[in-house]
Amino acid sequence: MTIRRIAKVFKSRPTIEGAGVHLKRAFGYSQVPQFDPFLMLDDFHTSNPEEYLAGFPWHPHRGIETITYVLEGLVEHGDSMGNAGVISAGDVQWMTAGSGIIHQEMPKESPTGIMWGFQFWANLPASQKMTWSNKSRRFIKPLFSKASVSQNPWGSYTPEKNDGACCCKTSQCNRRYSAGQQIG
């Protein structure tokens, strides 16, 4: 196995998105060319409901996939295709925007008072952004899927202590990480 060195470390930047959600952007902005096809990684982690309850009201996406993983808290999702549901602790939602979708993500007050998770955006290949189906003579619809904690193929990532570390618990992994470094 070849061990690769870390080429560069980026510090996340606080930002406000949607209708006033406070989050930290791990990468995006000018770093996109370095991570292509990955466009953005946002971390949302707060115990102040005023920093997340305004949520992300109806907005469009096209040509990307969004992957949302909730570590703690509740997020209601709805979209223009009629999909709706709640993403809760340990759940992951994967949305392929394809030729276009309008959706909303609205955090709800967490039973623990903490909202914590991350969202990752991936750029679709040009050939899949506006895919036309000759068979059906239309653009291919966006796709939506959700895996609950019991179905999640990646296992669970949950805080063990109030030390900023996450714990990876899958059948292949039982390690603790802090700031991207394994600590246990």
pLDDT on residue 82? 84
Indicate the domain borders of the chain.
13-152, 154-184
> What is the full per-residue pLDDT of the chain (184 aa) written as tens digits?
899 898 888 889 999 999 999 999 999 978 888 888 889 999 999 999 999 999 999 999 888 888 999 999 999 988 888 888 899 998 888 888 877 888 999 999 988 899 999 999 998 887 777 754 444 444 555 565 656 655 544 444 444 443 333 333 333 333 333 333 333 4
Closest CA to 92 of 154, 143, 47: 154
pLDDT on residue 51? 95
pLDDT on residue 128? 73
Closest CA to 64 of 85, 94, 90, 105: 94
pLDDT on residue 144? 54
Q: List the beta bridge partners of residue 69.
A: 92, 118
pTM of the shown model: 0.72
Residue whose structure tokens are 């000018």? 30
pLDDT on residue 160? 41
Structure tokens given for 30: 């000018």
CATH for 13-152 (1.20.1440.60, 2.60.120.10, 3.40.50.2000, 3.30.43.10): 2.60.120.10
Q: Helix, strand, coil: what percent of the chain each, to 5?
A: 10, 50, 40
